Amino acid sequence: MDVSSIIEPLNDAQRLAVSAPDQAVLVLAGAGSGKTRVLVHRIAWHIKINQVSPYHILAVTFTNKAANEMRSRIEDLLQIPARSMWIGTFHGLAHRLLRQHAKDAQLPDNFQVMDSDDQLRVVKRLLKSMNIDDNKWPPKQVQWFINAQKEEGIRARHMADDGDFYQRQMLAIYRSYEDFCQRSGLVDFAELLLRAHEVLRDNPELLTFYRQRFQHVLVDEFQDTNTIQYAWLRLLTEGFNNLFVVGDDDQSIYGWRGAKIENLFAFQKHYPDHQVIRLEQNYRSTGHILKAANTLIAHNDARMGKQLWTDSGDGEAISLYAAFNEQDEAWFVVEKIRQWIADGGLRSEAAILYRSNAQSRQFEERLMTAAIPYRVYGGLRFFERMEVKNALAYLRLASHHDDDPSFERVVNTPTRGIGAKTLDDMRLLARDNALSLWQAAEHMLIHSMLTPRAANALSGFLNLIRQLGQDTSSLPLHETVKHVVERSGLIELYQKEKQDKGETRVENLEELVNAARLFDPDLIDENNLGELDLFLNHAALEAGDMQAEADQDCVQLMTLHSAKGLEF
């Protein structure tokens, strides 16, 4: 049989992986080494050479984009429809399985899938019904706890009460959450995976059917799998030795969201009769870049070992600029980009990568000064970020009590027990009497128009704002910002968010203080305004419409995490 159409476009290592015998295979695929091509051609090899029906193949990816690309490539390569094949994300395939076997999974046929926002709303409603103070038990923290347990395959009934108060309260909430979702036919993302594992584990006939059906199971980005995902894969392939995984221990960057690099090592123990194939030829980078990358990654402990190389030459040498400070760094980078554009280069072919979102501000300011369009990939510009806008609203309200948009934004951030009815009455009073919201609030307090509880909450908010204004009246700008950020409760609010978002928000608030420290009011020709007002105006203008459209030729800004898999 002619196999040239499948193996001819491949290098030697890729051919070895594609044509490997039917056994467990671990493909260690370095960045830019053609792993998607290997997966597609491996599937094509099974279908065309081994005469395996597409019905008997299961392929798992981590994004819908990757799944669609895989289907498209299979259709182009084999000229067969691939739409009905079981190719998709873990969540997508788990959902498909549960839809087909809802009764076995103890779910209603019309069960509803909740996204993250839906799940958070359910948690908030549940805390309220349980009379639990969401200031002490932040809903996002509860959401994180529930999802973390599910990703480890742990139900509330599996958890023991060890006497720890925090654990006991979280366990009680988790139990109530499970009961509510079961009664309501609701399934969150983490539940999709856990329930898909349980329905196979607890139904031997169903498990036998799918083990016989999926004769070949292929997985992309295996280093990013979590505990329940790997458990599901093992359940499907146990005793059949038919798991083909592609991963790279050097690209494991998602441990903070549950990914287990240990799964790469566990694979070799759980599938002792396996083959390891290394894809080390890189098609994306130059020799100089690869040599630097190899040298740096060699310092990592417990590596499985790989040495990337390319036959496309060394390319330009890597430039290293040791900047004096962050402003100097931003100036240097933007000047390089300006020269690139002047020489005929496209702005869209230039990218600025940084560790955390908070670091984008310096580059954004310099790009705006240089009138170079840019776009923050996968995120908001610095002064558009929620936590930054909240802090700016506190600053405005502390110096201008009649600023209604700022009042609306922070009156319940953090939550302080000012209810929707109180706010509606306040808005109505303000509208009918041409008052600001602040004036309406004072009027309601003076004339005892509120319940004692609502009056205490509103009075506490007004006193906080007054105190912030008094405390900062003679402070330098950056100390004013620092004081307001800390005393407003914003730092404490975001520190309670256990997920990475909380840490990122705190970093952004710290960078706002830094922005105030570096702010030069002399650069703005508005002599009639104070330094704080000049800074607030500067922030408002920077949060304007300067961000380029998605299809516009513009410089791309993003974190290193966001840049994974992209090319420039």
Dihedral through CA 151, CA 156, CA 159, CA 163, nearest 10?
A: 120
Nearest Cα to 374, choosing from 537, 553, 144, 564?
553
**pLDDT at residue 545 in the model:** 46
Per-residue pLDDT of the chain (568 residues; tens, 9 = 90+): 677 888 999 999 999 999 999 999 999 999 889 999 999 999 999 999 999 999 999 999 988 788 888 999 999 988 888 888 999 989 989 999 999 999 999 999 888 888 887 898 899 989 988 999 988 899 999 999 999 999 999 999 999 888 789 999 999 999 999 999 998 888 999 999 999 999 999 999 999 999 999 999 999 999 999 999 999 999 999 999 999 999 988 887 777 667 788 999 999 999 999 999 999 999 989 999 999 999 999 998 878 888 999 998 999 999 999 999 999 999 999 999 999 999 999 999 999 999 988 898 899 989 988 989 998 886 677 888 889 999 999 998 999 898 888 898 999 999 888 988 999 999 999 888 988 899 999 999 999 999 999 999 999 999 999 999 999 989 999 999 999 999 999 999 998 876 667 888 999 999 999 989 988 776 555 556 788 888 887 776 665 545 566 667 899 999 888 787 676 6
**CA gyration radius, the chain:** 28
DSSP state for residue 299 in the 8-state scheme: T
Map out the domains of the chain with their CATH numbers. 4-99+194-280 (3.40.50.300), 112-184 (1.10.10.160), 326-381+547-563 (no CATH), 383-542 (1.10.486.10)
Report the alpha-carbon distance of residue 18 to residue 43 in Å, rounded. Answer: 8
**pLDDT at residue 251 in the model:** 83
Report the alpha-carbon distance of residue 255 to residue 225 in Å, rounded. Answer: 9
**pLDDT at residue 490 in the model:** 94
Report the alpha-carbon distance of residue 126 to residue 148 in Å, rounded. Answer: 18
pTM over 0.75: no
